[in-house]
Structure 1
Amino acid sequence: MFLFMLPAWSIQQAQFPQIPWTSRLPSMKGWNLTLDLHAPSPTPLFVRIARALEEDIRRGRLPPGAALPGSRTLAESLGVHRNTVLAAYRELETQGWISTSAARATYVSPTLPDVPARSTAGASRTAMPTQVGFSLPSTPLSREQPDPPRGTLVLAGGAPDIRLLPASLLARAYRRALKLHGKHLLHYGDARGLQRLRAALAGMLSSLRGLAVRADDLIVTRGSQGAVDLVARTLVTPGDTVAVEAIGYRPAWHAFQLAGARLAPIPLDGEGLRVEALEALAQRTPVRAVYLTPHHQYPTTVTLSPARRLALLAWARTHRVALIEDDYDHEFHYEGRPILPLASADRDGLVLYVGTLSKVLAPALRLGFLAAPRPFLEHALGVREAVDRQGDTALEAAVAELLEEGEVRRHVRKMHGIYHGRRDALVEAVERELAGALTVSPPAGGMALWAHCAPDVDVGAWVRAGREAGVAFTAGGDYSFDGRPVPAVRLGFACLEESELAEAVRRMARTLPRTARVPKREISGRTGKATRP
């Protein structure tokens, strides 16, 4: 049973047939050469073939150096005499468009002849038009910044240290999965994800997070973002109001906006999401869902207090509102026992629980999951099959083996100690190098710090100067719903070693755009430092 309503429509799950792909066209270094010669014309056939190839070279579809099929192969595929193709090739070679090597191979000339103005500037331009011939949405969604230059120390976000991933164990499990079950794993699979992985995840969620779930209560997705997108597509109809944290995770906001939702930002304080603001919103308009990150709020790292959790569940029960709980880094909690998810206290089918293994293993391993009441999952599976069909079944099998053998648990335990130390090292470095500019308290968990800036710090200028000096970090305003500046920065600590963190903070100190330099102070017995277990 669950209390919130689902959209009236439902997508029927379907069986997807296997459609073989074949081609009768010749290979051109693994690709196919297609020429349009069907239009009637009095022009000799060899000239039409030559012009078709010339046009493809002009447009950049055949770049300089591209190998062309042999005359016999091309003639057979076009259904013409070989001499016709030879005549076309001779015409193109005379004009300088193609060349022949000593091995009698034919290829596009490295240096093309001068072309008239109607061309697309030769092979330096692609065949794809540079403009669209139809209208686009007025404002594209914002995207993440491109990767910084090589050598940059990246504090932005809060990614795991992929250098510590047990890649050899993962590779071994992947090879074994393909060797033993390749025919099954490489076929169309269950849209819910591999049953073996769902069973392993259910065991992990039950023992570590207090969720009474079974394999059939889960869908494996492509990362937590895939789970959020699936929830948005399944739950939201255009015009629905979805409440989000006023400082929060923009990619999730985009998923709800693409589903047609109107987003309503809810303010935060030291105890997390303010439930009284949700109540005020509900008095003005019906609320379809609330998306939140209660364990380590993204990006502020605040943990939703127990009293707020109870109040939120009671409010959702009263108003029949779905709670979308994104528990993206539950494993990393350093102070006392972690608070169990909202979903563990849900008795009314209100919480749609989103999690991921990407923070535990590596961001490129897109493995997330959605735990939800089964009636909701039935709707979601129809959407999944229409949009994404299934995940990487072979990868799911490999990770399932690592979970079953305890390798993931051992890796998490190792990372827990390392990240705890890095958290403390970053806090020490900030207090030593940036005292007076940043105020920071060690977060209870997670993979990043939320540091408050002094009033005279130009955060945007600091971030830009830092990137030029080889250190990347994120301004608080980048997480603001309305885009207004926030006097804070987010500093990830998990992906850098302690020495790298110290150097990153030194670079931040050197580039701080203030009226006065930040005074350094020696740290002796830093107050508030967490004690390692």
Structure 2
Amino acid sequence: MKGWDLTLDLRAPSPTPLFVRIARALEEDIRRGRLPPGAPLPGSRTLAESLGVHRNTVIAAYRELETQGWITTSAARATFVSPSLPEVPARSSAGVPRPVMPSQVGFSLPSAPLRRERPMPPPGTLVLAGGVPDVRLLPASALARAYRRALKLHGKRLLDYGDTSGHPRLRAALAEMLSSLRGLAVRADDLIITRGSQGALDLVARTLLRTGDTVAVEAIGYRPAWHALQLSGAHLVPIPVDGEGLRVDALEALSRRTPVRAVYLTPHHHYPTTVTLSPARRLALLAWARTHRVALIEDDYDHEFHYEGRPVLPLASADREGLVLYVGTLSKVLAPALRLGFLAAPRPFLERALGVREAVDRQGDSALEAAVAELLEEGEVQRHVRKMRGVYHERRDALVRALERELSGALTVSPPAGGMALWAPCVPDVDAEAWVRAGQEVGVAFLPGGAFSFDGRPIPAVRLGFAALKESELAEAVYRMARALSLLRAQIASS
């Protein structure tokens, strides 16, 4: 609690001396974990000033606590909670003190909690995380300079309440990027800046969906997006994905059974298999959505990273009827922690979404948005993207070579045309889930196919990200994967 006043509950019968009330309040705070063993306590003068009492009163309270073994005083006269607390029963008048936070809630919760992402691996683990950029290569100095300039020149305005849509300069710069690279005819007013693409998906779900609405999703796909849709009360229906992307014929069959409100999909690089939705299916999907008046939620999460052939333009670039709600992010281009995403949509939808945004989040980080806008205007982001495209292309090839060298008998490897990860089916005798668990024991983390299935069933495949690791790190990660598989097979053979 360094630098803060220490507040205490001194309510007690008035005949109780004040120094005793202070001592008891501190004792109870130590008992319940608010003040943990070894924690520093404010000096007697500082605590006296914050409580509005005489210093001698605090000194008397501290002496009482020290006598009982609750606190200690160092040679420099600093005061700390004792490292070893006395073993004494709680006073009956106070009851049993509760821990820092109750272990249970006192009210009912929804029966099915959302499945959370897997915990962070221990230090030293090589993480083949899909869709994560190498933040070590971020032009952090340029971003820091732009951030300082933004605060220096416009600090008063940027630190006040701002535009719910996002900083106008960033929206204008992103509109230019989307128009140039992705073929979208958008202006600054057609965009809302959000806290990452997940913030955009949440905003779409809150604005578009009502309890019971049917939303079609890819049967193998992005679970956090499914969660955002489910939290709005939607009923999700998985649609199969094959080598040409989402099965539009399955969508048509679904719409004959029940009205469909929306479809969520990742058509450019399907998450997680990296398959691109074929031209014929893109046309069929748009025609079907137009006929049935269905919203298409297009998540274009890594458009800039395409290595072979021409990048495929988004569905939104061919949308003439206002069907597509286009979600994107700068997390892959820059860094996930910046939490910068965007939503492009017809103005009537954005007006409703802005009302929702004001009630839930109000606005983003105006200073950060201004700084990133400057980097876009000066071409810094564009240069970084071109550099990273080359780096990630080389890393993709390095991962493929390592897999073919170490694991050719365990995986089928096909280099993806774009993206930041690859999808590798396993041979029949390899249990992907068990392999992942074995990998954790030797310091490598990756995900099994079942982590992306709608119903949680195992899928004999793994997803391996290559963007966040250097070529030497990728080689070591694959070596550890091979070692884990050997250990797993040996364990199975001996059982």
Q: Which amino acid aligns with 1:312?
A: L
- Choose the corresponding residue for 2:146, options 160, 167, 173: 173
Separation in structure 1 between the aligned mates of residue 383 and residue 47 of structure 2, nearest angstrom: 58
Separation in structure 2 between the aligned mates of residue 169 and residue 175 of structure 1, nearest angstrom: 10
| Greater mean deviation of Cα atoms: 460-469 or 85-94 | 85-94
Task: Check whether the contact 1:186–1:393 (CA below 8 A) recurs between aligned residues.
Answer: yes
SS at the partner of 1:91?
Answer: helix
- Choose the corresponding residue for 1:53, options 26, 35, 60: 26
After superposition, the Cα gap between the structure-2 partners of 1:465 and 1:83, relative to the gap in structure 1 and judged at 3 Å, is closer
Task: Check whether the contact 2:129–2:468 (CA below 8 A) recurs between aligned residues.
Answer: no
Q: What aligned pairs does 1:414-493 form with structure 2 within 5 A after superposition?
A: 414-493=387-466
Task: Check whether the contact 1:245–1:268 (CA below 8 A) recurs between aligned residues.
Answer: yes
Separation in structure 2 between the aligned mates of residue 241 and residue 58 of structure 1, nearest angstrom: 51
Separation in structure 2 between the aligned mates of residue 91 and residue 463 of structure 1, nearest angstrom: 56
Separation in structure 2 between the aligned mates of residue 471 and residue 231 of structure 1, nearest angstrom: 36
SS at the partner of 2:351?
Answer: helix
After superposition, the Cα gap between the structure-2 partners of 1:300 and 1:36, relative to the gap in structure 1 and judged at 3 Å, is same
The answer for the alignment partner of 2:382 in structure 1 is: 409
The answer for the alignment partner of 2:192 in structure 1 is: 219
- Choose the corresponding residue for 1:160, options 116, 124, 133: 133
Q: Which amino acid aligns with 2:294?
A: V
Residue identity over aligned pairs, in percent, reads 85
The answer for the alignment partner of 2:123 in structure 1 is: 150
1:35 aligns with 2:8: yes
Separation in structure 2 between the aligned mates of residue 159 and residue 101 of structure 1, nearest angstrom: 48
Q: CA deviation at 1:467?
A: 1.7
1:322 aligns with 2:317: no
Give the TM-score, by structure 2 length: 0.93
Deviations 1:158-201 (A, max 9, x none): 31111211111111111111111111111111111100100000
- Choose the corresponding residue for 1:254, options 227, 244, 260: 227
Separation in structure 2 between the aligned mates of residue 202 and residue 421 of structure 1, nearest angstrom: 30
Q: CA deviation at 1:465?
A: 1.0
Q: Which amino acid aligns with 1:382?
A: G
1:296 aligns with 2:269: yes
Task: Check whether the contact 1:161–1:494 (CA below 8 A) recurs between aligned residues.
Answer: yes
The answer for the alignment partner of 2:218 in structure 1 is: 245
| Greater mean deviation of Cα atoms: 109-118 or 297-306 | 109-118
Q: CA deviation at 1:355?
A: 0.4
SS at the partner of 2:485?
Answer: coil
Task: Check whether the contact 1:232–1:255 (CA below 8 A) recurs between aligned residues.
Answer: yes
Separation in structure 2 between the aligned mates of residue 101 and residue 345 of structure 1, nearest angstrom: 72
- Choose the corresponding residue for 1:205, options 150, 165, 178: 178
The answer for the alignment partner of 2:309 in structure 1 is: 336
Deviations 1:24-51 (A, max 9, x none): xxxx632232222345444333322221
| Greater mean deviation of Cα atoms: 95-104 or 43-52 | 95-104
The answer for the alignment partner of 1:191 in structure 2 is: 164
1:286 aligns with 2:259: yes
The answer for the alignment partner of 1:511 in structure 2 is: 484
Separation in structure 1 between the aligned mates of residue 151 and residue 59 of structure 2, nearest angstrom: 47
Task: Check whether the contact 1:158–1:491 (CA below 8 A) recurs between aligned residues.
Answer: no
After superposition, the Cα gap between the structure-2 partners of 1:44 and 1:264, relative to the gap in structure 1 and judged at 3 Å, is same
The answer for the alignment partner of 1:131 in structure 2 is: 104
Separation in structure 2 between the aligned mates of residue 136 and residue 82 of structure 1, nearest angstrom: 48
The answer for the alignment partner of 1:384 in structure 2 is: 357
SS at the partner of 1:481?
Answer: coil
Q: What aligned pairs does 1:47-126 form with structure 2 within 5 A after superposition?
A: 47-101=20-74, 104-116=77-89, 126=99
| Greater mean deviation of Cα atoms: 188-197 or 463-472 | 463-472
Give the TM-score, by structure 1 length: 0.87
Q: Which amino acid aligns with 2:64?
A: E
Task: Check whether the contact 1:249–1:299 (CA below 8 A) recurs between aligned residues.
Answer: yes
How many residues are matched? Answer: 488
Task: Check whether the contact 2:333–2:385 (CA below 8 A) recurs between aligned residues.
Answer: yes
Separation in structure 2 between the aligned mates of residue 282 and residue 118 of structure 1, nearest angstrom: 66
SS at the partner of 1:384?
Answer: helix
Q: CA deviation at 1:136?
A: 2.1
Q: CA deviation at 1:217?
A: 0.5
Q: Which amino acid aligns with 1:496?
A: L
Q: Which amino acid aligns with 1:59?
A: R
SS at the partner of 1:370?
Answer: strand
The answer for the alignment partner of 1:9 in structure 2 is: none
After superposition, the Cα gap between the structure-2 partners of 1:257 and 1:91, relative to the gap in structure 1 and judged at 3 Å, is same
- Choose the corresponding residue for 1:231, options 190, 196, 204: 204
Unaligned runs of 5+ in 1: 1-27, 518-533
Unaligned runs of 5+ in 2: none
| Greater mean deviation of Cα atoms: 38-47 or 111-120 | 111-120
The answer for the alignment partner of 2:240 in structure 1 is: 267
Task: Check whether the contact 2:201–2:228 (CA below 8 A) recurs between aligned residues.
Answer: yes
Q: CA deviation at 1:212?
A: 0.6
Deviations 1:327-379 (A, max 9, x none): 00000111211110000000111100000111011111111100011111111
Task: Check whether the contact 2:449–2:462 (CA below 8 A) recurs between aligned residues.
Answer: yes
Q: CA deviation at 1:101?
A: 4.6
Deviations 1:213-261 (A, max 9, x none): 0111001111111111111111111111111000000000000111111
SS at the partner of 1:364?
Answer: helix
Task: Check whether the contact 1:230–1:384 (CA below 8 A) recurs between aligned residues.
Answer: yes
Separation in structure 2 between the aligned mates of residue 306 and residue 413 of structure 1, nearest angstrom: 26
| Greater mean deviation of Cα atoms: 158-167 or 45-54 | 45-54
| Greater mean deviation of Cα atoms: 381-390 or 196-205 | 381-390
